[in-house]
């Protein structure tokens, strides 16, 4: 992958964020997702690359999603695997909440997990606790391991969990252990990568969420030196059959090298609504402001990018 590709990919997430942010708080999550997807696809197709979506939020018959197997880019340039979530947090945008992102990840062809869009059980930590977690271990054991690695008491560890009924047992165990909990309504990509940034105050992520988000988070954590473990959770026979057809063992613990192989990958995200790490899109009289993050695993480079975008020159970004 060329170094210049990082900035090209930021253009993709910026466009998706600018388009979807117009729908903030309007209660229309599908319209917000459609706006992000359309903008992301349009800009992707200007980038010199031969990209294939290997894990995304839709299938081919679920347009306008960026579906698994879809080709992206001009058809010239490096051959890349792409993992996408044009709007990570559709409900967040619909309600005007925190931590909605336009986010994507790319790696050389064959290096990202190729899997169906389904649930994935996850546990994630930042660099200080790499090698200390085990998705098969009890919650208390993982808490103690992270606390020891970060020279903290368990009572000072902050765990992020999606606020879902399916996570009631995890939340109960966290409370019994005395750990601090940050419940989030949506957006577990942000929840996972926040474990690698001190300023967010998050130490560990527990629970299940989307598999595309798990792969995207794995690329982000690879760039940051963190760790995520996952396990696919088919919800019915159809999903189990799709995993079998793709030669995926659903009992396997997916480690970093399973989710993202090789020594190079790029993660890009732009804030749609405000979060701990990135500010959301701000619209001024004639321009929009964006706050983005782009990281490359090979160089270990982490860039925060402030963008100013003329709205007059980009009428396609204005909600119709």
The length of the chain is: 320
* 3 is known to lie in a ligand binding site: no
**Half-sphere exposure of residue 92, counting CA atoms within 13 Å on the CB side?**
26
Whether residue 33 is annotated as binding a ligand: the answer is yes
Q: Per the annotation, does 25 bind a ligand?
A: no
Per-residue DSSP letter, 58: B
Cβ-proximal residues to 244 (8 Å cutoff; 6+ apart), any chain: none
Pairing of strands 282-283, 71-72: unpaired
Binding site annotation covers 81? no
- The answer to whether 320 is annotated as binding is no
Q: Is position 262 annotated in a ligand binding site?
A: no
Helix and strand tally (H, E) in the chain?
A: 9, 13
Known binding residue 62? Answer is no
Q: Is 75 annotated as a binding residue?
A: no
The answer on whether 172 is annotated among ligand-binding residues is no
The annotation status of 187 as a binding-site residue, yes or no, is yes
Asked if residues 126 and 203 have their Cβ atoms less than 8 Å apart, the reply is yes
Would you say 58 is a known binding-site residue? no
* 61 marked among binding-site residues: no
292 burial level (CB within 10 Å; 0-12, 13-18, 19+) = buried
119 is in an annotated binding site: yes
Q: Would you say 2 is a known binding-site residue? A: no
Does 77 belong to an annotated binding site? no
Residues 6+ apart with CB under 8 A from 179: 143, 154, 155, 157, 158, 159
Residues making up the binding site: 33, 57, 85, 88-90, 119, 164-166, 186-188, 210, 213
Residues making up the binding site for substrate: 88-90, 119, 164-166, 186-188, 210
Residues making up the binding site for Mn(2+): 33, 57, 85, 88, 213
């Amino acid at each position: 992958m060329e170094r210049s590709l990082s900035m090209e990919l930021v253009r993709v997430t910026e466009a998706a964020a600018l388009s979807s942010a117009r729908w903030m708080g309007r209660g229309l999550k599908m319209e917000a997702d459609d706006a992000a997807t359309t903008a992301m696809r349009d800009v992707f197709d200007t980038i010199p690359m031969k990209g294939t979506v290997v894990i995304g939020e839709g299938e081919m018959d679920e347009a306008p999603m960026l579906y698994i197997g879809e080709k992206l880019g001009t058809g010239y340039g490096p051959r890349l695997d792409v993992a996408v979530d044009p709007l990570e947090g559709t409900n967040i945008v619909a309600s005007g909440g925190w931590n909605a992102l336009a986010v994507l990840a790319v790696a050389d062809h064959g290096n990202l997990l190729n899997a169906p869009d389904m649930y994935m059980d996850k546990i994630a930590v930042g660099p200080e606790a790499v090698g200390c977690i085990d998705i098969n271990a009890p919650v208390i054991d993982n808490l103690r391991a992270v606390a020891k690695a970060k020279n903290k008491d368990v009572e000072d560890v902050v765990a992020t969990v999606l606020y879902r009924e399916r996570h009631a047992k995890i939340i109960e165990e966290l409370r019994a252990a005395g750990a601090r909990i940050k419940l989030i309504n949506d957006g577990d990509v942000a929840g996972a990568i926040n474990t690698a940034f001190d300023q967010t105050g998050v130490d560990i992520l527990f629970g299940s969420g989307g598999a595309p988000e798990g792969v995207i988070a794995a690329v982000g954590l690879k760039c940051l030196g963190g760790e995520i473990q996952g396990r696919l959770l088919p919800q019915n026979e159809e999903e189990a059959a799709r995993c079998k057809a793709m030669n995926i063992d659903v009992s396997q613990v997916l480690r970093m090298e399973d989710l993202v192989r090789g020594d190079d990958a790029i993660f890009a995200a732009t804030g749609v609504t405000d979060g701990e790490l990135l500010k959301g899109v701000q619209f001024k009289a004639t321009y929009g402001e964006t706050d983005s993050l782009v990281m490359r695993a090979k160089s270990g480079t982490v860039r925060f990018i402030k963008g100013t975008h003329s709205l007059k020159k980009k009428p396609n970004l204005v909600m119709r």
